[in-house]
Structure 1
């Protein structure tokens, strides 16, 4: 029997495990994947999340491996509309860190392994959850090698298994979903010789193109589309980027290609008996703006002390309910920011695009407004 079983060994589940393990809590992390996916996926880590990650001793390693984005520039028709500096957003981490998710997970997994080499159990699929009011029992699928299933019992269960959470279904927690009229395709390409460590937003008539630096002299390009872009290849994405920006990524250097249509999903409750939802299992946020993974880490940072208090015998029912209210509010704010980000990237007629660019340039030119926007963008 364990104190806590965490379902989901992604960045949020691993971070929560590290937080609890360093407090002496016995933890088992159940991850369905047999091995980590070597795709960049989520890349942006904001200052509040870096502060949280520092509490388990991994922020320095991540900063050392990533790219520090200290500013962003908006460009339209080859002219600079405005710039935004992150210099004032944090004393400790005055930047947005760009780091591929598989590298983030690798650092967190090493930390968990250092704290308890047996804590993470891969290739494990949960089939059923039973909560008797005192303990939670998780039934696991039978491993192929011996054909016999197993059970794990814990005092608490945390579901950190992502936006399409199986645990949420097993716990009979309904969700509210919202779709958007936005479609994107993104890809990672080698940067040219003028590789810069700033983010660039190209505000063009056909829709926004976003460009972010990654480690290893790589840049991610994200293009807003008018319809779903599944099936687009690297050459077609390169041509789209060139048509709107004048920059042509080399298709031969493409290492990741993905098309997506953003949506938001909110669980109707975050606490169910002795189980708690965190991260995308609790609230899926549009990836535009890079808030989802960060939001999950902040969930875990707030939840960990409540879990420790409950295991020591304290009555935490009211604290859990308060936690659920606060984290739901944080998710609403993140969703609204993502919706603003998406609205700024939608196609506009030339006249309206020019007016919007003038307004954005005026705001960027006011130091106080610039600082405020930078703080909002970095989840503060």
Structure 2
């Protein structure tokens, strides 16, 4: 008999949520995380309605609401003019909560459900599948470990080594751009986002809890900003906003790209979250989509007897279909913020005004809040 019903590789927000759901169903769960310390990078901040429903199912919905900032809506601007204004309806809320705080809530919840489930400093180096179980080799603080489970879920992120070892493929999709961002004290705290779709490239401004705000600037591929002075200068040139940040603030550079695994499962091994699909953070759908996948996967695993091979064919198709929809939306959002000549800028300004008009405003807000995914 395997040591565990389900072993999860990776203790990011998606892997932790799945673990909570499975333990609540009475399954024996282990989560192997190679890091020994918490990941304190802010990273994802948006929680959409499908993600909030998943967090509620895991038992932390109230805590997320209490700590998160509810985003009232947003504005789209270009060349110092407001093109569209959206308000998010009460039935499709968007909460803003930095990923480390969401992760901390999920870790606390898992520990309250199963104190031994999370194994930190446990780096999974090999997986071998048999007809009855999956056997895992891991390097841990106390030496090499050999573990087994009826099902192994690989949730170790975009750069998953195990996905490559399993030969499940990693296919690029449309949508790629480079950005730099900083989180700073907000001189005029609010609850609305502003997107500047400028000829020189996108500038985003998102409110954060505790009177802070995130600024994101699109930069040329392969070329970052030299420092905070260049970052502030880019914002001032494109939007007219003078941040006046101190010289010791350092922008964080990142590349937004999109990929999908050709398959998300092989026998008793399943990919989940960013290991299964990379969705551009523009639009804020990647983490939430991973949570939705986790809920679907938990339902299927809970319905199967622990040692029985679950049928994941339909789940595989559903995951890849939802990811494809999200990636198409994100690719569109990215195109609206790409550097462009005057003729293209004028054309997309007309399109954005149309999408923000009264007849289409509700439909557009639904797309931005993950309706249909």
**TM-score normalised by the chain length of structure 2:** 0.94
Partner of 2:37: 35
How far apart are the structure 1 equivalents of 2:26 and 2:242?
A: 52
Superposed, 1:222-237 pairs within 5 Å as: 222-230=216-224, 232-237=226-231
Structure 1 residues 254 and 296: alpha-carbon distance in aligned structure 2, compared to 1, 3 A threshold:
farther
1:147-182: CA deviations, max 9, x gaps? x31111111100111001122123232221246452
Q: Does 1:270 align with 2:264?
A: yes
How far apart are the structure 2 equivalents of 1:65 and 1:136?
A: 39
- The SS at the match of 1:269 is coil
Which residue, out of 318, 322, 335, partners 1:326?
Answer: 318
Structure 1 residues 292 and 254: alpha-carbon distance in aligned structure 2, compared to 1, 3 A threshold:
farther
How far apart are the structure 1 equivalents of 2:282 and 2:130?
A: 40
Structure 1 residues 14 and 256: alpha-carbon distance in aligned structure 2, compared to 1, 3 A threshold:
farther
Partner of 1:111: 109
Q: Does 1:310 align with 2:304?
A: yes
- The SS at the match of 1:185 is strand
Partner of 1:195: 189
Aligned 8 A contact 1:8 1:30 in 2 = yes
Partner of 1:165: 160
Aligned 8 A contact 2:13 2:103 in 1 = yes
Aligned 8 A contact 1:180 1:261 in 2 = no
Structure 1 residues 70 and 255: alpha-carbon distance in aligned structure 2, compared to 1, 3 A threshold:
farther
Q: Does 1:50 align with 2:25?
A: no
- The SS at the match of 1:252 is coil
Aligned 8 A contact 2:297 2:315 in 1 = yes
Partner of 2:20: 18
Superposed, 1:1-380 pairs within 5 Å as: 1-87=3-89, 90=91, 94-143=92-141, 146=142, 148-178=143-173, 180=175, 182-192=177-187, 194-230=188-224, 232-252=226-246, 257-311=251-305, 316-317=310-311, 320-367=312-359, 369-380=360-371
In angstroms, what is the RMSD of aligned CA positions? 1.9
Aligned 8 A contact 1:189 1:220 in 2 = yes
Structure 2 unmatched runs, 5+? none
**Aligned residue pairs, count:** 369
Cα deviation for residue 257 of structure 1 reads: 2.7
Task: Name which of structure 1's ranges 56-65 and 306-315 shifts more when overlaid on structure 2.
Answer: 306-315
**TM-score normalised by the chain length of structure 1:** 0.92
How far apart are the structure 1 equivalents of 2:367 and 2:74?
A: 14
- The SS at the match of 1:208 is strand
- The SS at the match of 2:351 is helix
Aligned 8 A contact 1:39 1:256 in 2 = no
1:287-332: CA deviations, max 9, x gaps? 1111111111001000001111122577742xx1001001100000
Structure 1 residues 229 and 196: alpha-carbon distance in aligned structure 2, compared to 1, 3 A threshold:
farther
How far apart are the structure 2 equivalents of 1:78 and 1:379?
A: 28
Aligned 8 A contact 1:188 1:254 in 2 = no
Structure 1 unmatched runs, 5+? none
How far apart are the structure 2 equivalents of 1:219 and 1:254?
A: 17
